[in-house]
Amino acid sequence: MSGKVKKFFNLKIIIIIVCIIAFILANSAQQRYIGLDDVPISTLITTSTIPPETTPTEPPTPTQTGPTFPTDTPSQPNGGIDTGREPFIPTQIIPIVISVLFLILIGLLIWRRKKEMQTVQKQTEYTSGVARSRREKLVTKIRTLVEILNDYLKQGKFTEGIVFGFHQLDGNMKRILGVSRDSHLTPKEFSNSLQLPEIIPHLDWIVKAFYLARYKLSEMEYQDLETFIQKLQKIKGLSVSESDIEILERKQLSDKK
């Protein structure tokens, strides 16, 4: 809640609110300071009667001798209205000032709201833009193992292609041959344990090439990787599933040529 309040109130807005409250209080305090010009004429007219003519008489003899002094008497409100002091701010100005301050306050609140909406929109656009750029930088593609090994072949990465190809075949043995290699069996032991006479020669060749490439017992050449690819295709054709080994690739667009 405090976070939402801070979005719409700052020092300027608080100062304007305080000024509005101060002027409203000042206006209330000045209600009793009304000048004579604002007092209805009816309250200033008093009824009077002219006394009948009388015979002048001798002034009474003063009982005390000596000078007399005027006695100070406080001014009484005229008709219940205190006219002894002038208002310290003209009465007509205060409502105008309050109205102007209210308009400024409303304008600032609308401006703050609009600015906040623009900030949220920019943040949303930036976040979506970053997510979009990340998606655009990466391309996801499903390729077969043979297609990838052909790329290794073109790039001259014969040893890397054979090692990569065997690991992918080894992880898909269950789907290709219907049986997976147990962890306690070596690739050679697994090949010898199979009861698939048509596939074993091709798998034996692949396992032998893998050992030579993995432990660098022999330098792999173009012909070695090409034969490796051909053996993979024959195993696929002889398997029950006849399915390709598919690999999910994610690469940056900058890596594509």
Average pLDDT over residues 169-181: 89
**Residue 196 reports pLDDT greater than 80:** yes
- pLDDT band for position 99 (cuts 50, 70, 90): confident
- pLDDT band for position 103 (cuts 50, 70, 90): confident
* Domain coordinates in residue numbering, the chain: 141-255
Contact between 159 and 210 (Cβ < 8 Å):
no
CA 130, chain centre distance (Å)? 13
Contact between 159 and 216 (Cβ < 8 Å):
yes
Contact between 176 and 243 (Cβ < 8 Å):
yes
Q: pLDDT by residue (tens digit) across 11-48? A: 777 787 878 887 777 777 665 554 445 555 555 455 45
High-pLDDT (> 90) share of the chain, %: 28
Burial class (CB in 10 A: 0-12, 13-18, 19+), 242: exposed
Q: What is the pTM of this model?
A: 0.47
Please state, in angstroms and rounded to a whole number, the distance separating the CA atoms of residues 249 and 142. 6
**Residue 81 reports pLDDT greater than 50:** no
**Residue 242 reports pLDDT greater than 50:** yes
> Mind giving me the DSSP string for 150-203?
HHHHHHT-HHHHHHHHHHHHHHTHHHHHS-PPPTTS-HHHHHHH---TTTHHHH
Average pLDDT over residues 63-80: 53
Output the average pLDDT for the chain: 75
160: amino acid identity, one letter? E
Token pair listed for 45: 């007219």
